[in-house]
Structure 1
Amino acid sequence: MFLLIQWAWGLLKLLLRYNSNISWYHMNCTFIWFIAFFESILIRKWTIRVIVFCTTAMVTEFMYIMLRDLKLNVREIHSRKPQLYRTRISEEFRDSNRLILVTSDVSTRGVNYPDVTLVIQAGVPPGREHYIHRLGRTGREGKSGKGILLIAPWEEYFLKEIHDLPIQKAPVPQIDQEMKQKVDDSIKIVDMSIKEAAYHAWLGYYNSIADISRDKVMLADLASRFGVSIGMEKPPTLFRKTAFKMGLKGVPGIRIRK
């Protein structure tokens, strides 16, 4: 059985390596830059369907609110939405043109969306297999597609996991001052409860990734920076029990609820 699995995985790698239908790219940037990037550089150029994968359900919701406020034609799907809602949005995305779907990993497997032009992964995926399955939403039935992985500099370790795949580093486009201001204005209108939930989800997600969570002080600092980038003056508090379970009790930068 082990040899069979090993053979199948080797075959999959071989097929992916020579799949000329998909162009693979990665860029290094901060979280909020993702949003400006979507609006000012990419979305205007893609005429069919775009899928944006986010790290967690609450980060997905935050991203959706931001892109919606920027007047983009966007929908959201994640695990916090009821099944009937997800089914309706999924059908709308399948039947519509020029639509952006912001989603968590609930759209990774078992879903077939025709004519997806572009797959964007905002933040490091949980692993190599997730990265490949997400990218598999485009380039189907002999049609061409593009995949872009947007990662922060401290997430570059993931590139070692996919070093044998044909992924290229793409230059980071410039974002003009007007676009930066639009993003800043959009951040201000997002309810603080959404921002706090996004912070907690972000912290929990990256705490589950060994390459990042082994240095708890660095993790707390990165979480604080994420909070600032989404318009929070200081990180929200954690329940003492939650902080203890996450190994974050007593870590500088982690605030405990009294």
Structure 2
Amino acid sequence: MTMVQEATLPLILKGEDVLAKAKTGTGKTIAFLLPTIETILASKNAQTYHENPIRALVICPTRELAMQAAVEAQTLMKFHNELGAQTAIGGNSSVMEAKKIKLQPCQILVGTPGRLLDHIQNARGFADQLKSVKILILDEADTLLDMGFRQNLTEILKALPKKRQTLLFSATIPKEVHSISQLALKPDHKFVDTVGQDTETHAMVNQKYAVVPQESQFAVLYSILKEHIAVEPKYKVLVFCTTANITAYMAALYQKLGFNVREIHSRKTQTYRTRVSDEFRNCKGGLIMFTSDVSARGIDYPDVTLVVQIGVPAAREQYIHRLGRTGRAGKEGQGVLILLPWEEPFLRKLKDISIGRMETPKVLDLSKKLRSVISDIDQTIGTRAYQSWLGYYTTAKSLSIDKHTVVEYSRKYWASLGFSSAPAIPRLTIKKMGLAGILD
């Protein structure tokens, strides 16, 4: 039993409201699902299952987390055929989803805030189903709020019975989480801290950073991946990029360069994301997945050997959560952060974390290779990547950099990928990014 399970299980089984501060990868999903299922079983009767009420509602910030929690619930209930867990997430037919929730066993419903609110407002009978909820669970509460779901959560809370048990799990407890806890939890709720004052990163992860010239960034990543593959036969690597469009383009480039690559980001359909996520989770090694931050929180990918973050993270917390995809379940892992010289000030936010400067790997001249493969890639993907790079860095709160400098660096970025000139961007897009008179 993990620390968070040992600390929270007795309280939850007693019916207490709980605010738990717990890292990802510490077994917290089991910590809230197991007692929830026990509570449902303890209150079951024939009429309950005939009416198919929703007894527990789990709210997660992303589709991937919701699906993962639902699968975990189904696994825990496999010897109780009368029980079921369903999902309410985007990316599929809301009508069919609502019908499935109504007609199939759904004692536990796991959903994302946007889709849940959509069902409450538009799916006939769904709000009535929620009147039977006895347990509410907010998972990754800090991320829910970081992603702007406070208003959605407030509206969902209005649709739930006031007489219920509420569990709130979060890796960090900023003031926003305190605020929502006051709204959702009873005043006498129990607070459990399994993190304390440590750096909130896994002790099993060897963390390094590299500050490299812009023209070498792509080649440095190439060398890091090649070196890791050479020493780790069962390599399983996550490469975090700053935006979905950059993720797509980087994945396309590395696939053309001969790497075994998958990609996952918000530009892909839910069906695709589910298939790729399952493939990466179940593979025994020999795979690299380029990802946006859809994989940053809570997703359980066993045996990840290396996490690479290329480009400055949006915040310190984002660095920590991405890193948490490796070094899980007591196993060792490696993390590398690749920064450009003008991104180096971000390291001040990691001053209390044990991260050392890595010896820069041998940088190969990839210009010929890149020129030979970029012609085979849909240039629309490249144009979107360039635009999203500009958009990300012109709004990056973790950096203090003027827009003229961002544009100058963007051209160097594009050149580092083998292009002689940056792609043209529509004037309207330039204006929306606040770059009129700078980029055109």
TM-score bracket relative to the smaller structure: 0.7 to 0.9
Q: 1:15 to 1:141 in 2, by over 3 A?
A: farther
1:1-258 alignment, distance < 5 Å: 11=195, 13-14=197-198, 16=200, 19-29=202-212, 30=214, 31-46=217-232, 47-96=234-283, 97-177=285-365, 181-210=368-397, 212=399, 214-251=401-438, 254-255=439-440
Q: CA deviation at 1:167?
A: 0.6
Instruction: Decide whether aligned partners of structure 1 residues 238 and 69 sit closer, same or farther in structure 2, where only a CA change above 3 A counts.
Output: closer
- CA–CA separation in structure 2 for the residues paired with 1:159 and 1:110: 24
**Corresponding residue pairs, total:** 250
**Separation in structure 2 between the aligned mates of residue 210 and residue 186 of structure 1, nearest angstrom:** 34
Unaligned stretches of 5+ residues in structure 1: none
- Taking the aligned partners of 1:45 and 1:195, their CA distance within structure 2 comes to 32
Question: How many angstroms apart in 2 are the aligned matches of 1:201 and 1:12?
Answer: 37
Q: Is the 8 A contact 2:220 2:363 kept in 1?
A: no
Higher mean displacement: 224-233 or 153-162: 224-233
Residue identity opposite 1:22 in structure 2: V
Which segment drifts farther, 167-176 or 236-245? Answer: 236-245
Secondary structure at 1:218's aligned position in 2?
helix
Distance 1:161 1:112, change over 3 A: same
Larger-Rg structure: 2
Residue 54 of structure 1, CA deviation: 0.6
Q: Distance in 2 between matches of 1:99 and 1:215?
A: 38
TM-score (norm 1): 0.87
What's the offset of the Cα at 1:8?
8.9
Residues 238 and 72 of structure 1: CA distance in aligned 2, closer, same or farther (over 3 Å)? closer
SS in 1 for 2:210: strand
Q: Kindly tell me: are residues 41 and 240 of structure 1, through their superposed partners in 2, closer, same or farther at Cα, counting changes over 3 Å?
A: same
One-letter code aligned to 2:268: K
Task: Give the letter aligned to residue 98 of structure 1.
Answer: G
CA RMSD of aligned residues (A): 2.6
Alignment-mate amino acid for residue 174 of structure 1: K
CA contact (8 A) 2:211 2:341 kept: yes
| Equivalent residues of 2:314, 2:398 under 8 A apart | no
Question: C-alpha deviations, 1:158-206, integer Å up to 9, x for none?
Answer: 10111111110001111344x5543443334333222211100100111
Shift of residue 95, structure 1, vs aligned partner? 1.1
* Structure-1 separation of matches of 2:193 and 2:349: 14
The 8 Å contact of residues 34 and 122 in structure 1, kept in 2 or not, is answered as no
Distance 1:35 1:184, change over 3 A: farther
**Structure 1: which amino acid aligns with 2:423?**
P
Contact 1:36 1:183 (C-alpha < 8 Å) held by counterparts: no
Amino acid paired to 2:198: L
221-230 or 76-85: bigger deviation: 221-230
Structure with bigger RCO (C-alpha 8 Å, 6+ apart): 1
Secondary structure of 2:268's match? coil
- Amino acid paired to 2:207: W
SS in 2 for 1:119: strand
Report the counterpart of residue 76 of structure 2 in structure 1: none
Q: CA deviation at 1:41?
A: 2.2
**TM-score (structure 2 length as normaliser):** 0.52
What is the SS of the residue equivalent to 1:14? coil
5+ residue gaps, structure 2: 1-172, 179-190
Change in 2 beyond 3 A, CA 1:10/1:158:
farther
**Aligned-pair CA distance for 1:65:** 1.1
Q: Secondary structure at the match of 2:305?
A: strand
Letter in 1 for 2:313: P
Task: Output the CA distance in 2 between the equivalents of 1:8 and 1:188.
Answer: 55
| Cα distance, 1:42–1:182 mapped onto 2, change above 3 Å | farther
Instruction: Give, in whole Å, the separation in 2 of the partners of 1:8 and 1:129.
Output: 20
Summarize the Cα distance change of 1:225–1:9 in structure 2 as closer, same or farther, 3 Å threshold. Answer: farther
Distance 1:9 1:159 in 2: 27
* 1:3-29 CA-partner distances (Å, limit 9, x unpaired): 896x99994551546x43111100122
